[in-house]
Amino acid sequence: GENVEQHPSTLSVQEGDSAVIKCTYSDSASNYFPWYKQELGKGPQLIIDIRSNVGEKKDQRIAVTLNKTAKHFSLHITETQPEDSAVYFCAASTSGSARQLTFGSGTQLTVLP
């Protein structure tokens, strides 16, 4: 089955700086890679996603890049704000009949004011 590795496990940045979180996946059949933000006591919130036919996708301060050859994808957050502080999960899904998500282990991002 799919295995997703995520690092770093914790990341602290100063407000206004950029944050980068990286993930690698094992199953070459995976073709959908979402990122979720989870605040304490809440459900994961889909913040951006990318499909395997695209190399980069941007949405305001958030961008995701995908390198299919190397099987890794990254989340980039620019101009970080204190409200960006949360746990971020990457995930991967295959194109089979099941769309189940395999998650990385999460990154606790802390943006220091």
Partner 1 sequence: AAGVIQSPRHLIKEKRETATLKCYPIPRHDTVYWYQQGPGQDPQFLISFYEKMQSDKGSIPDRFSAQQFSDYHSELNMSSLELGDSALYFCASSQGRGTYEQYFGPGTRLTVT
Q: Closest approach of Cβ 56 to partner 1, in Å?
A: 18
Q: Closest approach of Cβ 78 to partner 1, in Å?
A: 23
Cis amide leading into 8 (omega within 30): yes
Per rule CB under 8 A, is residue 44 in the interface with partner 1?
yes
Burial 30-56 (b: 16+ CB within 10 A, else e): bbebbbbbeeeeeebeebbbbebeeee
Per rule CB under 8 A, is residue 100 in the interface with partner 1?
yes
> 73 in helix, strand or coil?
strand
Closer of 42 and 113 to partner 1 (Cβ): 42
Which residues of the chain form contacts with partner 1 (CB under 8 A)?
A: 32, 34, 36, 42-46, 49, 51, 89, 93, 97-106
